[in-house]
Chains A and B, each alone.
Chain A
Amino acid sequence: MSKRVGTEASFAIADAAILADVDVVAAYPITPQTHIVEHLSEVVADGELNAEFICVESEHSAMSACLGSAAAGARTFTATAGQGLELMHEVLYIASSMRLPIVMAVSNRALSGPLNVWGDHSDVMATRDCGWIQYFTENAQEVFDLSLCAFKIAEDPNVLFPVMVHMDGFNVSHVVEPLEMLEKDDIGDFIPPMNFPHPLDPNKPVTMGAFAPPVLYTECRKSQEEALRPSKQTIIKVWNEFGERFGRQYKPVETYKTEDADTLLIAIGSFTETATVAVDTLRAKGEKVGLVRMRLWRPFPFDELRDAVKDAEKLIVFDRCISYGGPGGPLCSEIKSALYGSKEQKPVVNFIGGLGGRDITPEQFEQMFSRGREIIDNNLDIQYETIGVRE
């Protein structure tokens, strides 16, 4: 039976990896992710988890070791954050193109410089196009549930892609929260044994990571893209099965009080929970406002997003990342892309904030609501505004 426990979200992820009975963890500690792999190295050292814990000298090596381990058919987990994710960068693309079902937790962190260990989405967004399945969690329960799901999704024979489970550094990773912890008996056959179709095997040699000259490279890329897009169906299927078995339902795009709303706040990550407080306050004042919480980031849930916003007139998007010299925040530009060309064009305004661990309060979401409507109603030519910055 599941039991209600109080635990830090980082430990909840580690516990999910233990429940999934991972074979190999190759990781390098980095704030705010360290507690995850620290806990895993303890349970391996104590003999509570029968796995290899590979201490590596960098994140580049961590992901490289994960490639080898997954290619050999071992269930593989790692975790990183911020600069660590960037140091992995080139290897991330190799993991996805080789279709290796690695699961990685990322405690989202700001990028240097200036040096900053706190949370924002600069690290995630820099890896947007690396071909991994990526989704966001908002609290310890979601982190636990969706890390478990990640193994089932990644290893599904119809998917075979690595999965990144994102949680906001500190705001989620270091917070002790109550959650329903599942146990081995609860899990049952939810995560079937790892069955990588073509593992490295001396008795049946294959070549992985071969080169592709111009005559083949385009075909390789196209086949990868054509495999990633439909993985959304399996992601939804796994989340639905999780919901049926364990009673907590997850969707690619989730909504809060969006019925009859004329204005929608849209956000991703843990600050969506803060935004619900603002929505409640604004609703109490009679405003028809709702919230769209983006969960699945790659493959991007175009249909679900369009459906979630179809009845709204004004959209206000909050980003925790700047695309320097670009259109504003990455989430907002993605949403604009998703809506471009649809029958009813809606005004979309963008706010950027919560950078490098700066808090965003419910009152600031109320400010974004009122200022956003002002920008739209007066047709102001503003690309984006930074919320909470001292002018």
Chain B
Amino acid sequence: MAKKDFEMTWKDITVGCIIHEPGSAAQYKTGDWRSQVPVWDKAKCVKCGRCFGFCPEPCIVQDEEGYYEADLYWCKGCGICAHECPKGAITIEQEEK
């Protein structure tokens, strides 16, 4: 997008509010919604990928060692990963901003 949302005037709105650029939803920073954040305990994690599979965003990715972590640009802090983790390796903690 050439302009940020807050810079767009009504004249910049396309006919029918159509978005012509595919995949633009990825630009939306849903991480803004978050008040809590998931924290992984690598000692308990068995790299099963259940958190990755259940994340509704989906924003959980694997690091170089194969452990999982949330991309905080999109993570809403919903806690589903922590709820689904069979090893209790994920805790949801209040995020300090």
Pair from one complex? yes
Question: Would you call B5 and A216 a contact (CB within 8 A)?
Answer: yes
Query: Given the complex, which residues of B lie within 8 Å of A207, measured CB to CB?
Result: 18-19, 22, 24-25
For the complex formed, measure the closest distance between the CB of B27 and the CB atoms of chain A, giving whole angstroms. 12
Q: Are B18 and A223 in contact (CB under 8 A)?
A: no
A-B contact pairs, 24 of them (CB 8 A): A97-B16, A99-B15, A160-B15, A198-B15, A198-B18, A206-B18, A206-B19, A207-B18, A207-B19, A208-B16, A210-B17, A210-B25, A212-B17, A215-B6, A216-B13, A219-B9, A219-B10, A220-B10, A220-B13, A222-B13, A223-B11, A223-B13, A226-B10, A227-B15
B97 close to A (CB within 8 Å): no
- Total residue contacts A-B, CB cutoff 8 A: 56
For the complex, is A56 an interface residue (Cβ under 8 Å from B)? Answer: no
Chain B residues with CB under 8 Å of A197's CB are 15
Among B5, B10, B19, contact of A222 (Cβ-Cβ < 8 Å): B10
Min Cβ gap A217→B in Å is 10
Complex Cα gap A209–B25 (Å): 13
Interface core residue of B13, B17, B19 (most chain A CB under 10 Å): B17
A205, CB-defined interface residue at 8 Å: yes
Distance A226 CA – B13 CA, assembled complex (angstroms):
11
Size bin of chain A's contact surface? 20 to 34
CB-contacts of A167-219 with B (<8 A): 197-198, 205-210, 212-213, 215-216, 218-219
A98 within 8 A of B: yes
B residues contacting A by CB (< 8 A) are: 5-6, 8-13, 15-20, 22, 24-25
| C-alpha gap A70/B9 in the complex (Å) | 27
Contacts known (A207-B22, A207-B24, A213-B5); A219 close to B13, Cβ less than 8 A? yes
Which residue from chain B places its CB closest to the CB of A217 in the assembled complex? B17
Return B19 CB to nearest CB of chain A, in Å: 4
A100 in contact (CB, < 8 A): yes
Q: Which residue of A lies closest to B16 (CB)?
A: A99
Q: A198-B16, A223-B13 are in contact. List 16 more A-B contacts (CB 8 A).
A: A98-B18, A99-B16, A100-B16, A198-B20, A206-B20, A206-B22, A207-B24, A210-B25, A212-B17, A215-B5, A219-B8, A219-B10, A222-B10, A223-B11, A223-B17, A226-B10
Q: What is the CA–CA distance of A205 and B18 in the complex, to the nearest angstrom?
A: 11
Chain B residue at minimum C-beta to C-beta distance from A95? B16
Smallest CB–CB gap between A6 and chain B, Å? 41
How many angstroms from the CA of A97 to the CA of B20 in the assembled complex? 16
A90 to B5, CA, bound (A): 26
- Residues of A near B25 (CB, < 8 A) are 207, 210
The smallest beta-carbon distance between B24 and chain A, in angstroms, is 7
The interface residues of chain A lying within 8 Å CB-to-CB of B15 are 99, 160, 197-198, 227
Q: How far is the CB of A155 from chain B (nearest CB, A)?
A: 13
B79 to chain A, nearest CB (A): 24
Closest CB in chain A relative to B93 CB, distance in Å = 28
A205 to B22, CA, bound (A): 6
Among A208, A212, A218, the residue within 8 A (CB) of B18 is A208
Report the minimum CB–CB distance from A157 to chain B (whole Å).
Answer: 9
How far, in angstroms, from A212 to B10 measured CA to CA in the complex?
Answer: 13
7 residue pairs, one from A and one from B, having the closest CB atoms: A99-B16, A222-B10, A207-B19, A223-B13, A219-B10, A223-B10, A98-B16
Which of A100, A198, A223 has most B Cβ within 10 Å? A223
